[in-house]
Structures are given as C-alpha cells and as structure tokens.
Chains A and B, each alone.
Chain A
Amino acid sequence: MFGYVIPCKMELKIKDYEKVKAYYCGLCRAIKYNFGNMPRITINYDMTFLAIFLDALDSHKNEYIHSNCILHPFKKRNFIVNNSPLEYASFINVILAYHKLLDDIDDDNSFKSKIFSILLKGYLKKIPTQYIKTKDHIVKKLEKLYSLEKSGNVENLDELSHPFGELTAHSILDYYNDEKYQENLYYLGYNLGKWIYIMDAFDDLEKDLNHNKFNGINAVLNKDNLPYNEFRESVKSRINFILTSYARECSEILNSLPIEKNDEILYNIFNYGLLEKMDFVFKKEESTK
C-alpha cells in the first residue's frame, strides 16, 4: 500500500522538484546507514512524504551533499544529510515494509515475500530503543486492522480504514508532538492514512477480485457479489466522494499548521498530487478499454 502520496510533478517548481529528489535520496542514504544496503530497496514515496512533512515543521536549514550512490554510480545526486525527520522516516519505512511482507505471506503465502521477510528480519534488531514504542504502536494498529479484515462484519469503509488512519496519525505524533497542534496533526495523519488505505484497495480491486484475494472495498460494499466491472461502476462515485473528502480535509488542515519550509511542496501534494493520483487510478480503467 505504498507510493500514493507524491507531488504532481508538472506543477512543481524545478527547485522543489530537486528538493523532493534530495529528500528521497537522503532517505535511501539514511536507511543505508541505519540498517544496511539490502533494506534500501524497500524505500517508498510515502515515507519520503513523511520526512518532507515532519521537516517542514522545523525551521533549521538543511544540509546537502553531492555524491554518487550504488544504484547510480555515474551520475551524482543531491542528498539531504544529518536530518532527524529522515532518520525517523527510515525506521518507519523498514518497520512498515517488514510488516507488509508478513501480511503478504498471510494473504497468499507468497514465496518471494517469505524469503524477503526472513532477510529483513535480522535488520529489525537495529531499531534503537527510542523507537521501540513507535514500533509497538504500529504493530498493534496493524493487528487491529488485520483482525477487522478477517472478521467480515464491518459496516462501512470508515470503520475498516480507521486503524490505518490512526497508524498514520501516530507516526506523525510520535515524532512531533506539540500540544497546540496535536489535534490538527492527528486529523491530518488520520485522513491521509484512510485516503491511502482506500486508494490502495480501489487500485488493487481488479487484481484482488481476479485472484480471489481480500479487498477492503469488496468485503464491505459488495453485498451481492457482483462481478468486477459492475461492482466498480456501482461504487465509483461513492469512492470518489470519500477520497476527495479525505484529501480536502488534509488540505484544509495544512493551512492551520506552523509550516516553516517545504510549503510549496506540501501545497502541491495536498492540492494537486493526491488528485492527480486519484485521476490516474480512476481513469486507468477507461484507458485500457
């Protein structure tokens, strides 16, 4: 369920585009130094967003370096270094990636995920004690989510996506907990988390239905066991409504937060990026016809 929260590239200024890239490369570098080379492949854009967002709440100046990396040996890249939101995001990134693999194994006994999770497990020991609480929190929320998914009697998508919304909210609050903005930060994370969860379910709807895998939207809304095409048409406007509502809420809350930098990137993500991603997923179907 990763890689949905990205900026709309065409609306970004070049300097902001380069900055996003430097955060991405910086996160990859942070994973390398905190864990090792192998977990670097689990990097994703949602965690880059987390770092950009948390860093935006802090006024310190970023430190850049220009260097090579293992994946791009001939072209030098910019990295943001010595940045605590990036460090934090690197831990969350690996924790979530590992648990996503466990979930995949549980879902379809995927061999690839099995091997990979065993490889990754060793690295998890490197999580410092200060983040253990966050990790336990994440694990608890995920367990709640999986038990809801399995229970089969969920009334609406809000109830189902609630644990993932809380997970995202606490991932933000565990790093930045200012009493004055606590509620706003919580709701921003909460709405974004639900947006990610439902977006992912809608994106995977066809794949999941064809392979008979669990899909949140199908489990909650497909009471008559409609085939994929009919079902998708019947829920399209409902999904569009809730996703737009979550995204709008995020964008409204953003205005009330004490943003010190990266404001144009964040504005872009919440006002163009999320909508672009939705457009892409909703129109995917029409373009393949």
Chain B
Amino acid sequence: MKDPYEVLGVNRNASQEEIKKAYRKLASEYHPDKYIDNPLRNLAEEKMREINEAYEYLMKNNGKYVSEEELLYNVRIDIQQGNFSEAERKLNSINNRSAEWFFLMGIINQRKGWYDGAYDCFQKAHSMDPGNREYNQAFNSLNRRNDNYREPYGKDKDHDLCQICTTLYCLDCLCESMGGDFIPCC
C-alpha cells in the first residue's frame, strides 16, 4: 500500500475535514464517468482505486498512518526493550513479508523459545537476502551456542596413557634439540 497522505496530497497532520475535502476533490477529478471513450480510462480507474483505499484507511485508523519502514523500526525498538508481544502484534499487522520481516520474526520466535519458527524465519530471510550480514549473524550465533553446548559431550574425556607417552617423548626431543635433556636415560 502506498502512503495514503501522499495519495491524497495532504500533509501528515491534516484534520479529518481536510482529508475529506481532498478526497472529494480527487474523486471528482478521476471519476470514471469522465473518462468514457478516453484512452486513459484504465489509468484513471487505477488512480481511483488508490484514492479510495487511502481514504478508507485514514478514516478507519483515525487519520493515523505509519509506513512499513517506520513500523519495522518500531518493532526493533520493542525487541530491544524486551516488549515481544507488542513487537509480534505489529509484525503480524504487516502484509508485505520482506527479508527484514522474517529476520525480526525469527528473533521474536527465538526469544519465545520457538526454535522451529526461528529456524524457518532465519532461513527465509537468508534465502531472500543472502548477502545480509545481520541476518546471517543471528542464525550463526544460535548455531554457535548449540555447538558450545554439544562440546563437552563430543569430547573424549579420558586422556589415555599413549597420549601421555607421546607428550613426554616430544618434550624430550624438544629439550634435546635445544641442548638440554628432559629424560636423561634416552
């Protein structure tokens, strides 16, 4: 959706009255009846649809409109402040799902402990915008945390005797090459 203020040609703090006035003026200008037998008819219809949509939106939301970029920025602030349910509500109100949308949704899912959702969202953000550092980093850091958690399990906890022998042998060789001797008998 385009910015409804731009479509109606009014400024951002216009009153309801001003919006109505601007709408009526534009509606009469682009009314389809005026464009019968006119090659610009399709264009006028398109414009009319936009005007109607913008007008309805502003009337329904009491003349408040926040663009998607602003909304996504607000979501980031909510996330930073730990206000996740509000952030999620705002995200859900956006229909256009961009890479950034998926990235932010992934962060929220991660904080909620919904790791399947987070995995899915991060993958989508990555496939839509593979070069984005921020998106890749978020997913990688999650993977790193998992790797750290796995580490003690994967490690061989027993230092066997052979390992000790080779260590001593190497140490002796090193000492001898420097002129000293760690194990005198060999």
Contacts and interface: CB of A to CB of B under 8 A. Distances in A.
B121 to A, nearest CB: 9
Contacts of B60: none
A187 B149 contact: no
Given A238-B116, A242-B119, A246-B115, A158 B109 contact: yes
B89 interface: no
A247 B146 CA distance: 9
Interface string B110-154: 001111110110000000000000000000001101100110110
A249 B149 CA distance: 9
Contact-residue bracket for chain B: 10 to 19
A155 B118 CA distance: 12
Contacts of B152: 271-272
Contact-residue bracket for chain A: 20 to 34
A272 B153 contact: yes
Interface in A129-178: 155-159
Given A271-B152, A271-B153, A275-B153, A249 B119 contact: no
A191 interface: yes
A190 interface: yes
A276 interface: yes
Interface string A208-224: 00000000000000000
A238 B124 CA distance: 13
A187 B115 CA distance: 13
A244 B149 contact: yes
Interface in A85-109: none
Given A241-B143, A245-B142, A248-B145, A156 B150 contact: no
25 contacts: A11-B157, A155-B117, A158-B112, A158-B114, A158-B115, A158-B116, A158-B117, A159-B114, A159-B117, A238-B116, A241-B119, A241-B143, A242-B119, A244-B149, A245-B146, A248-B145, A248-B146, A249-B113, A251-B149, A271-B149, A271-B153, A272-B152, A272-B153, A275-B153, A276-B153
Interface of B: 109, 112-117, 119-120, 142-143, 145-146, 149-150, 152-153, 157
